[in-house]
Amino acid sequence: MKVFVGCDVGGTNIKAGLVNIEDGLVLISNSIPTLARQGPDAVMERMAKFISDLINASQIEKCEIGGLGISAPGMIDLASNTTLFLPNLYSEWRNIPVGERMESYLGLDVAMLNDVRAITFGEWAYGAGKGADSMACFAIGTGVGGGLVVNNQLVLGIGGTAGELGHQTVDPNGPLCGCGNHGCIEVFASGPAIVAEAARGVLQGWSTKIVELIDHDINQLTPEVVARAALMGDALALEVWERAGNYLGIGVANILTSVGVKRVVIAGGVGKAGDLLLGPIRKVIKERVFLMPVDEVEIVSAKLGNDAGTVGMAAWSAIQHGLELGYS
């Protein structure tokens, strides 16, 4: 058994787990609040203790741990394992030598990646992308992140910034996105975008089951509620998912035409809507993609759920140590 630690630093929680990279099985995992407002130094100290406690609880000797992979939501200097800009964390973690600090605390070699590139790698190596030599991943939640695998290699680009699939322009005259661009997929298909579109219909007085599901309280509206209403046949909810899926489909069509991946994985909390998104995506790519064999492309839901980032970072750490994962 070859064991590595995967850890994801999020704006709200830090999640970590010990992973057997021979099969991608999570042996033990847990999470703690990030408490980002305490600042990077305090967060890293707590994270080191958290990981140390997790290793102790696993009853696996520390000397048997091959390394530590850490993902974070933003820009990272992969050569030095330094965070350059984490917009969702207090103080934005500019130029923080996370790898160096965590190595000094734990005595483990550290490798880092962007959080959605970690999800992409995990799903490709052990999840819904396993067996495909090329894959695109769209992770849909508060935002829309992404990642690409081409010829059995995670595409990193300049400084690990490649793969921001959710920030493709799908409407040049569309709303302003948090990234600074207008008309990104994210402004049409993220969780907040889906809620906002459904709320618009509710507030305009459309006849919809959503009103009953939220007990007339717009603050209770979530993507999950919109999905429930859609599965009940609600016209407004179905239209909301159709709209989100159409914009995602345009983005997927762009990737298929430009990169020609064999599999597209839809991940993230919003991605759990399944065919409510996958149906429109499949329809759009058949309408828009003509220069590659689109019938050979699989559009599938992610398999690893909340473990994808943990598994992906453990596997990425193993790869940096020259280990084979057995995914080919």
Give per-residue burial for 113-122: e unless 16+ CB within 10 Å, then b.
bbbbbbbbbb
Helix axes 275-288 and 223-231, enclosed angle (nearest 10): 80
Residue 304 CA, distance from chain mean position = 11
Residue 298 near residue 137 (C-beta atoms within 8 A):
no
Q: Which fold is adopted by the domain 3-121+306-320?
A: Nucleotidyltransferase; domain 5 (3.30.420)
Going by the DSSP 8-state scheme, the letter that residue 26 receives in this structure is E
At residue 328, the pLDDT reads: 47
Q: Which helix (H) or strand (E) holds 72?
A: strand 65-72
Tell me the HSE value of 280 on the side-chain side, using a 13 A CA sphere.
Answer: 20
Sheet holding 110-114, edge to edge: 25-33, 13-20, 3-9, 65-72, 110-114
Give the model confidence (pLDDT) of 230-285 as tens digits.
999 999 999 999 999 999 999 999 999 999 999 999 999 999 999 999 999 999 99
Residue 300 near residue 6 (C-beta atoms within 8 A):
no
At residue 312, the pLDDT reads: 97
Residue 6 near residue 309 (C-beta atoms within 8 A):
yes
Token pair 């973690």 in the structure block, residue: 93
3-state secondary structure of 107: coil
For 130-302, CATH number out of 3.40.50.150, 3.90.1150.200, 3.40.190.10, 3.30.420.40 equals 3.30.420.40
At residue 95, the pLDDT reads: 96
Give per-residue burial for 289-315: e unless 16+ CB within 10 Å, then b.
beeeebeebebbbbbbeebbbbbbbbb
Distances, alpha carbon 120 to alpha carbons 91, 123, 182, 310, in Å: 27, 5, 25, 11
Residue 265 and residue 251: Cα distance in Å, rounded?
13
Residue 191 near residue 209 (C-beta atoms within 8 A):
no
At residue 87, the pLDDT reads: 86
Give the Cβ contact number of residue 260 at 10 Å. 16
Give the model confidence (pLDDT) of 95-131 as tens digits.
999 999 999 999 999 999 999 999 999 999 999 999 9
Measured at the CA of 26, the angle between CA 323 and CA 325, to 5 degrees, comes to 20
Token digits of residue 113: 């990646």
Nearest to 198 by CA among 180, 183, 220: 220
- Residue 20's beta-bridge partner residues? 3, 25
Report, as ranges of residue numbers, the positions in the chain whose pLDDT lies below 70: 326-328
- Which residues of the chain form CATH 3.30.420.40? 3-121+306-320, 130-302
